[in-house]
Amino acid sequence: MYHYNDFDTAFVRNRVAQFRAQVGRRIDGSLTEDEFKPLRLMNGLYLQLHAYMLRVAIPYGTLNSRQMHQLAMIADRWDRGYGHFTTRQNIQYNWPKLRDVPDMLEALADVGMHAIQTSGNTIRNVTADHFAGAAADEVADPRPVAELLRQWSTDHPEFQFLPRKFKIAVTGAKADRAVIRSHDIGIQIIEKDGETGYRIIIGGGLGRTPMVGKVIRDFLPSADLLPYAEAIVSVYNQLGRRDNKFKARVKITVHEHGIDEIRRLVEERFALIRSGFSGVDQQLLNGIEAAFAPPAFDAAPIGPYAAAYGADPVFRSWADTNLSRHRAPGYAIVSISLKKHGATPGDASSKQMRVMADLAERFGHDELRISHEQNVILPHVRQGDLPAVHAALKAADLATANIGLISDIIACPGMDYCALATARSIPVAQEIATRFDELKLEHEIGPLKIKISGCINACGHHHVGHIGILGLDRAGVENYQITLGGDGTETTVIGERAGPGFAADAIVPAVERLIRAYLFLRSGPGETFLQTYRRLGLSPFKSALYDEVRADAA
């Protein structure tokens, strides 16, 4: 796995020392909040409703067991014994004290982690497919490119004051598990005539004006990646609107100028700066790629797996739901659900973090991943070891068999934590999961993505949920608006608004009506909710949501 070099280490340590001094000056009164706020945000420290929140980057979602153990230690020592994994492949601590944050950052630096550029109008934590390096359908591991982009963008002098935040995601597979079409730049590694290169997509985003990203270059030779990315960001840096925060993201720039004009400007800029990249970046990339070389896979006997699969229905259900195909024979990708029915999506206790770290060390080539769907992945597990892994997960309350199902919900922190929220999202997720667990319907319903945000900023990706839920404040009462038919994969679609919102006590019954309508309308068990929706459109679902209610009111 990739390790920080001396430069990175010194940079991170330096940053911690600087921030320690800044916190000291804030506490002794020599810095006002107005002066301090941009400094704390640069180091991932937010102020929420009940406490500070520290957001720690997990670049391209990759962790080793030592780092996971350290995250657990930090949770115990300075927080409330748990952490919250987010859709941006970060971990958030919800209860740090201002005084302790420099120590927390120091402890992170001890394992090569930090909170730099997790906030502010900079290029944020670069995210990647959480199955990177393991997925059977992959052209190439996206993480070396993500790491190259991280190195290029960190403290890049030209890009510290962009018009707005800037998010990049990379996938190495055709199946898009990194939501690249909802990012400022989405990168897909592709192969053309035996050559590896990139498809570059720009201008995607969610938030108050959701947009699907557009292809700006269908095939970019791999050597041109950094100059091309730099050209995009610098065109945006000049053209992006600084007069209106709500129109400042690159999605609006692309929308206002048109993709063709943006492409022309980017190509022009690219032609100008390309020669400045002497190839050092490519040498760097080669070095990074070597650090990401796959572990030595050895196909051990899968006997115990077959036996457990035949004998233990609980194991079988988990295996059918939570495993994905690995590129190496005899291996599997394990998704550990952080969505136990009724629990907070994405929360893990320090004890659970330690169990997952130990499993990675013992059975998983020491690798862990955090998915944007707020779950944890053991990317490389021998099939023969799966029964042992499952048993350990079960003992730690981590063996919920619901990956990709209705209770595998993405929910942002909402008004339980976030100062910007207009309503809560976590309790809605908890209630939906609990309800469908009671109904014992979720395996019958099959693949379904519910995504919930507590305000229009859309941190919970609700626009790209098959069922999206947006929490709003309607005249001082929590109200939930439903969107349908959204999709965050390679066939990205922004969901359609179904109609008026629902009160907090009516949202779960509304979702239940939608699901019952789907089960009735689908052509067979093989047709997913999204396929049925695409076949029939909004209207029958709208009836399911509203007709009955109207009849009641009449």
Partner 1 sequence: MSREFTPKVVTANDLIEGDAIWLTEDDGWTRDMAQAELIEDEAHGQLRLLHALSQHSVAVGAYLADAQLGECGPQPVHFREIFRTRGPSNHAHGKQESA
Q: Quick check: 460 binds ligand SF4 (CB under 6 A)? A: yes
Q: Which two tokens stand for residue 179?
A: 């939501």
Q: Quick check: 426 binds ligand SF4 (CB under 6 A)? A: no
Could you tell me the smallest distance in angstroms from the CB atom of residue 419 to ligand SF4?
8
Could you tell me the smallest distance in angstroms from the CB atom of residue 344 to partner 1?
5
Q: Which is nearer to partner 1, 369 or 435 (CB)?
A: 435
Q: Which is nearer to ligand SF4, 160 or 457 (CB)?
A: 457
Q: Quick check: 418 binds ligand SF4 (CB under 6 A)? A: yes
Nearest to 544 by CA among 522, 504, 511: 511
- Given ligand HEM, partner 1, ligand SF4, none, residue 453, with its beta carbon under 5 to 8 Å by kind, binds ligand SF4
> What one-character-per-residue DSSP string does 264-291 give?
HHHHHHHHHHGGG--SHHHHHHHHHHHH
Could you tell me the smallest distance in angstroms from the CB atom of residue 396 to ligand SF4?
27
Q: Quick check: 477 binds partner 1 (CB under 8 A)? A: yes
- Given ligand SF4, ligand HEM, partner 1, none, residue 519, with its beta carbon under 5 to 8 Å by kind, binds none
Q: Strand 331-336's sheet: what is its strand order?
A: 62-63, 368-370, 376-382, 331-336, 323-325
Alpha-carbon distance of 388 to 384, in angstroms, equals 8
* Alpha carbon distances (Å) from 513 to 10, 508, 520: 56, 9, 11
Alpha-carbon distance of 514 to 523, in angstroms, equals 16
Q: Quick check: 413 binds ligand SF4 (CB under 6 A)? A: yes
Q: Quick check: 48 binds partner 1 (CB under 8 A)? A: yes
Q: Where are the alpha helices (DSSP H) in 183-278?
A: 225-239, 250-257, 259-273
Q: Quick check: 317 binds partner 1 (CB under 8 A)? A: no
- Given ligand SF4, ligand HEM, partner 1, none, residue 167, with its beta carbon under 5 to 8 Å by kind, binds ligand HEM
Region from 27-35, 193-201, 224-232, 283-291 binding partner 1, contact rule CB under 8 A: 27-35
Q: Which two tokens stand for residue 435?
A: 């309800």
For residues 391 and 441, the answer to whether their CB atoms sit within 8 Å is no
Q: Quick check: 485 binds ligand SF4 (CB under 6 A)? A: no
Q: Which two tokens stand for residue 9?
A: 């280490």
CA–chain centroid gap for 472, Å, is 23
Could you tell me the smallest distance in angstroms from the CB atom of residue 478 to ligand SF4?
12
Q: Quick check: 441 binds partner 1 (CB under 8 A)? A: no
Q: What is the DSSP letter of 209?
A: S
Q: Quick check: 420 binds partner 1 (CB under 8 A)? A: no
Q: Quick check: 345 binds ligand SF4 (CB under 6 A)? A: no
Alpha-carbon distance of 55 to 59, in angstroms, equals 12
Q: Quick check: 26 binds partner 1 (CB under 8 A)? A: yes
Alpha-carbon distance of 93 to 220, in angstroms, equals 39
Q: Which is nearer to ligand HEM, 144 or 488 (CB)?
A: 488
- Given ligand SF4, partner 1, ligand HEM, none, residue 454, with its beta carbon under 5 to 8 Å by kind, binds ligand SF4
Residues that bind ligand SF4 (CB under 6 A): 412-414, 418, 420-421, 453-455, 457-460
